[in-house]
Amino acid sequence: MQTLEMGVAEITMRLISVIETDEIFQNVMVRGEVSNFKFSGPHAYFSLKEGEYLLNCVMFNATYRHPSGIKDGTVVKASGAIKVYPKRGTYQLYTESILEGKDYGELYKRFEELKIKLKNEGIFDKPKKEIPRFPQKIAVVSSKTSAAFHDVVKTIKKRYPLAVILLFHTSVQGKEASKEIVSALDAADRSSADVILLVRGGGSIEDLWNFNEEIVVKKVYAMKTPVITGVGHEVDTTLVDYVADRRSPTPTGAAEYATPDLVELKRNIDISFSRITNEMDQKIDESFDLVERSKKRLDFLSPKRQISIETERINESFSKMIKIVDEMIKEKRSSLIRNFEAISHSKIVRTIELVPERLDSKMEMMKRTVSNDISKKYLSLEKIEMSLNVHDPLEPVRRGYAMVFKDERLVKSVHELKKSDEIKLKLSDGKILSEVVEIEENGK
């Protein structure tokens, strides 16, 4: 038989032609158990299951035509046409109407029965373990070939590449899968992982059933390591979700919850560092202003400044006194000259001639008196300066003594200290931080 070569489009069109030209497929009523039912906007997507066989279905504008009682596990009769969806190469039932049945599927009955049993045993009341914020090792219990595992790895490497990923491979579908899942969980729990991700992609209730098995649920319940489940899609809920320490709607969501986002962490650190830097700069500026104000105050109150002020005041007073004396001398001399000229032709010329000499003598005596007064003032000023130097608190320090401070206060008595107190010794060229080891009073 000769092999016929065909393109994808051609073979798809042939299938469409075969199916859509068959009148039976264009108006058919299909009986089956509803599985994986969900809405996307106004449209409904679900499957009809019978034994191991599955038929995909879609119902457009289902929000207006869908019976309210229809949900997963319901046995229904769906009417419509079988057509091929070319973009995916799949066929499905384009549903026009649904007749609700009265029975629920066997799996959903088992699901509810087991859920009630485990709840009565108190398994769902298990306290949740805290998920570590910065895990070093993350164990993933999943199939190594599944899209769920690769999504988890991609998400972890993007968000938190510092973590080491440990894969514990297991089948996630099939009759023996539940035992493999338990074995993989046990191995992961005995590893050095900080958190365990139990993940699987979406599917029907049949596909996810192993995560409803009692042995799997009780194994997750008994785990010592925190467990995050990411089984199926957002609409899917399995019994392991009730006993996990955290349930995420998808495998990617589980990976996101288990890891911090390094980009977000860096942004928060940058913000915090900037805030701390600004606060430190502000504190430094405030401290610098305080030091400057204290320095100015100390400079103003220092003995040397007081001596300088007093010296300046005395010099200013002396200058004023000299000026006053000079003006007095000038005034007296002018007056004498005028009087001398008035009596220059009188009989007492000789007597008057002696007046300037006497006046010069008096002036010389006055200058000596003023000079003596000024010398006394300078002597008094020197005594004041010596007294200030004697009482200068830093003078003993310059001679080798030390000033003791506790909490920035000068210590004047041993009674102000106790053992283990931290003290500061101020010397002429610096400070020493010390601790009180022993205290001895005078005479003891």
More confident residue, 281 or 299: 281
Residue 134 has what pLDDT? 92
pLDDT digits (tens, 9 = 90+) for 244-279: 999 998 999 999 999 998 777 777 777 777 788 778
pLDDT given at position 95: 92
For residue range 62-76, list pLDDT tens digits in order. Answer: 877 777 667 787 888
pLDDT band at 340 (very low <50, low <70, confident <90, very high): low
- Kindly give, in sequence order, each residue whose CB lies less than 8 Å from that of residue 355, ignoring residues fewer than 6 positions away: 336, 340
Contact 259, 152 (CB under 8 A): no
Two tokens, residue 25: 């497929």
Q: Picking from 75-84, 171-180, 393-402, which range would have the lowest pLDDT averaged per residue?
A: 393-402
- pLDDT value at position 10? 87
The answer to whether residues 165 and 156 touch, using CB atoms and an 8 Å cutoff, is yes
Q: What is the pLDDT of residues 211-250, one digit of tens each?
A: 999 999 999 999 999 999 999 876 678 899 999 999 998 9
Pick from 167, 221, 162, 235: nearest CA to 197 = 167
H or E segment to which residue 368 belongs: helix 349-390
Stretch among 63-77, 118-132, 332-346 having the lowest mean pLDDT: 332-346
Question: Between the CA of residue 25 and those of 44, 95, 98, 158, 427, what are the distances in Å?
Answer: 20, 12, 17, 48, 105
Q: What is the pLDDT of residue 57?
A: 93
Q: Please name the residues in contact with 42: beta carbons below 8 A apart, sequence gap of 6 or more.
A: 60, 61, 62, 63, 64
Residue 75, strand partner residues: 33
Asked if residue 162 has pLDDT above 80, the reply is yes
- What is the percentage of the chain residues whose pLDDT exceeds 90? 27
Residue 352 scores a pLDDT above 80: no
Query: pLDDT tens-digit profile of 88-112?
Result: 888 999 999 888 765 556 777 788 8
> What confidence score (pLDDT) does residue 389 get?
65
Contact assessment for residue 16 and residue 82, using Cβ atoms and an 8 Å cutoff = no
Q: Looking at the predicted structure, is the pLDDT value of residue 363 above 80?
A: no
What integer pLDDT is reported at residue 35 of this predicted model?
87
CB-based contacts of 175-182 (< 8 A; 24+ apart in sequence): 177/210, 178/210, 178/213, 178/215, 178/216, 179/215, 181/141, 181/210, 181/211, 181/216, 181/219, 182/215, 182/216, 182/219
- Residue 300's pLDDT is 66
Please provide the size of the chain in residues.
444
Q: State the average pLDDT over residues 129-151.
A: 93
**Better-predicted residue by pLDDT, 4 or 191:** 191
Q: Residue 57 has which token pair?
A: 């279905």
Cα–Cα distance, 240 to 236 (Å, whole number): 12
C-alpha–C-alpha distance, residues 44 and 39, integer Å: 4
CB 204 within 8 A of CB 227: no
What pLDDT was estimated at residue 197?
96
- The pLDDT of residue 156 is 94
**Backbone phi and psi for residue 5, each to the nearest 5 degrees, phi listed first:** -85, 130
pLDDT score of 397: 64
Query: What digits encode the pLDDT tens for the residues 378-416?
Result: 777 777 767 766 666 666 666 667 788 888 888 888 788
Q: Are 159 and 134 in contact (CB under 8 A)?
A: no
**Lookup result for tokens 């993933």:** 140
Mean pLDDT of the chain: 82
Rounded Cα distance between 365 and 390, Å, is: 37
Residues of the chain with pLDDT > 70, as a percent, come to 86
